[in-house]
Amino acid sequence: VGDSKDYDEEVKSVCPFCGVGCQVSLKVKDGRVKFVEGIDGPANEGRLCVKGRFGFDYIHHDHRLTKPLIRRDDAPAKGLNVDPANWQTHFREATWEEALEAASAGLKGRGRDVAGFGSAKCTNEEAYLFQKFIRQGFGHNNVDHCTRLCHASSVAALLENVGSGAVTATFNEIENADVAIVIGANPIENHPVAATYFKQFTKRGGKLIVMDPRGQALKRFASHMLQFRPGADVSMLNAIMHVIVEEKLYDQQYIDAYTENWEAEKSHLAGFAPEAMEAICGIDAETLREVARTFAGAKAAMIFWGMGVSQHIHGTDNSRCLISLALMTGQVGRPGSGLHPLRGQNNVQGASDAGLIPMFLPDYQTVTDDGVRSAFTDVWGSGDFSAEKGLTVTEIVDAIHADQIKAMYILGENPAMSDPDVDHARAALAKLDHLVVQDIFITETANYADVILPASAFAEKSGTVTNTNRQVQMGRPAVAPPGEAREDWWITTELAKRCGLDWTYTHPSEIFAEMKGFMKSLDNITWDRLEGENAVTYPSLSPTDPGQAIVFSDGFPRPEGRARFTPADVIPPAEAPDADYPMILTTGRQLEHWHTGSMTRRSSVLDAVEPEANASLHPSTLRKIGVNPGEMVQLTTRRGSVTIMARADRAVAPDMVFLPFAYVEAAANLLTNSAVDPYGKIPEFKFSAVRAEKPAAI
Ligand code: SF4
């Protein structure tokens, strides 16, 4: 933490952690970021959480990559075995020319042998370039990123039923609501600045309905806390909607004007009386009825959801229910109303918009449409690429095991930590005959690399990012990258040239201009405008319109302008607890640690606050298995076992375990199930059968 006058320069940029997208001022002295303050961005109005304020010094960490690295001929066999402070046993330093030649030699001309994972931590321009590199360079769509592990099922349901994968209203609209549902999200830990708006909403009398199998700090502010049985989301939500139908609390005028398939939804809901559902979801019928009346009686109501909704094999069905609830009550398109999946990574919205997904080109234009593809190849100046939807994150891992993919380019993602059943993913990475990793540290994934290309942190680069609110914001460089590290767009461009592509980009603004040609969502948003205004929300209706906080006031981007009700059936979790694995494991983030921990565990303040891997269990569970808080507990699923420090937490139900996924020494994903939702292809991170026990004495 610096003195308020102890800096030479201040640079406006955007926090690199969560999808809230808080604007920051980076205070710089002697080529280093000394401290950070919040500034008046549209999402944060000067506020920051502990990560945004104190989690920045990873950019100056000793582990930063400063030169390209090439795997040594005499390196040990590929595995999770590289010490980031003593990597010389595995890699040797190389010049950029040598490293780019080595990287491209293993990719060039290999067509379908190659797949790519881009990153939601990179800018929009970098995401666009990455998907272009795979599609133009290798002729197919096997390119994906961590949206597949995050909100892919929410996006699938939103595209299906309202015609757009983004939020219908900014989270700040809650100030105009009188009722809000927060389900499967823990904003005080994961979207902390958004949570401050939720708390303010309750202070002025707004009714907050929190629904989550795990208790959470927002409970203190809630009018209703529904701690339902894990996996029972569809039963609970259908029961609430059943009451709205039964008591005729729906908005018939809105339904008639703006929706389709209402009769099918109505008859489907007849089978979900609260009295029949209460034992399944663990919430008594009267509470379900009261919540239904509260939501349906609101003048303006919003629904927020997180990965507790999306990370299930029925994640798309969960989101379908939330969309139906909003539609039947007419709670879309007006001030204080709307659907808002709280996006995770700082640029997961933007990376998805930019086409970093296997089924869609920029602006969700489908790869299966010949006209769409030819519009791209006309500008790209190259031949057609495949009309077949590409493979997703977990499908690419399986394709490596099946010898269908043999080389990968991974930019800023860490599948050796983030994928479900991660031993399976690690074995796939080890099996590749060529792996190029572009990152700022030797991540767990970089352990398996043949070539490592040193990239830039957020404070070292120019580029735009798009937050959960659809706000496109300008990130600016405050300090130079360390050593010979370079901006990601530059690295991808140089790699593309060596793979035979005729790319001539010299600045991200040129890439942004090319993207605009394909993306109507960026109409009226220019690089110069963002330089001047810092943020513009899409859609922006004119060169001076700051953008539309609320969309779909008069119809939806679907046939005849109508949103759709899609009835959701009950699909049980893929793995039921049994005598061997009697409890339920759920995974997630903590306030201080971000995703796979590569940044926050190298941030001195955050690491000091939360230094040790830990799992949370109810005190009664710990007593039952004979483990005291602070002692080690062994957690075992059908995939693997970890031994980790136990924390007593009454917010976790007695038959549950909560395990954060930031800790490599007790990696949560050694335990998780790789079963996926059939539509979004998102893994069921929120439900695995697990056994918790006292470890055997050593
Ligand atoms: Fe950064 Fe998110 Fe915290 Fe804002 S709420 S400071 S974007 S981590």
Which residue puts its alpha carbon closest to atom 4 of ligand 1?
22
Residue 89 has pLDDT above 90, yes or no: yes
Rounded distance, CA 497 to CA 507, Å? 15
Residue type, 54: F
Give 117-180 as a 3 state SS string: ECCCCCCHHHHHHHHHHHHHHHCCCCEECHHHHCCHHHHHHHHHHCCCCCCCECHHHHHHCCEE
Instruction: Report how far ligand 1's centroid is from the alpha carbon of 215 (Å).
Output: 22
Residue type, 12: K
pLDDT in tens, 184-234: 999 999 999 999 999 999 999 999 999 999 999 999 999 999 999 999 999
Q: Does the Cβ of 48 fall within 6 Å of ligand 1?
A: yes
Contacts with 157 (C-beta within 8 Å, 6 or more apart), sequence order: 316, 317, 319, 320, 323, 566, 679, 680
Q: Which of 14, 50, 51, 469 to mutate to test the pocket of ligand 1 (most atoms within 8 A of CB)?
A: 51
Q: Does the Cβ of 18 fall within 6 Å of ligand 1?
A: yes
**ipTM of the assembly?**
1.00
pLDDT in tens, 568-608: 999 999 999 999 999 999 999 999 998 999 999 999 999 99
Q: Does the Cβ of 14 fall within 6 Å of ligand 1?
A: no
Instruction: Report how far ligand 1's centroid is from the alpha carbon of 38 (Å).
Output: 10
Contact indicator for 644, 661 with CB cutoff of 8 Å? no
Instruction: Report how far ligand 1's centroid is from the alpha carbon of 191 (Å).
Output: 6
Q: Does the Cβ of 344 fall within 6 Å of ligand 1?
A: no
Q: Does the Cβ of 589 fall within 6 Å of ligand 1?
A: no
pLDDT in tens, 544-563: 999 999 999 999 999 999 99
* Mean pLDDT for all residues in the chain: 96
Lowest mean pLDDT among 152-156, 174-178, 465-469: 152-156
Q: How confident is residue 698, by pLDDT bands cut at 50, 70 and 90?
A: low
HSE-CB of 609 using CA atoms within 13 angstroms? 12
Residue 151's pLDDT is: 87
Q: Does the Cβ of 102 fall within 6 Å of ligand 1?
A: no
Residue 1's pLDDT is: 47
Q: Does the Cβ of 15 fall within 6 Å of ligand 1?
A: yes
pLDDT (average), residues 531-547: 98
Output phi, psi for 315, to 5 deg: -60, -40
371 is written with which tokens?
């006209």
Which residue puts its alpha carbon closest to atom 6 of ligand 1?
52
Global pTM reads: 0.96
* 16 CA: nearest ligand 1 atom: 1
β-strand 407-411 against 434-439: which pairing, if any? Answer: parallel
Strand partners, 303: 181, 339
* 49 CA: nearest ligand 1 atom: 3
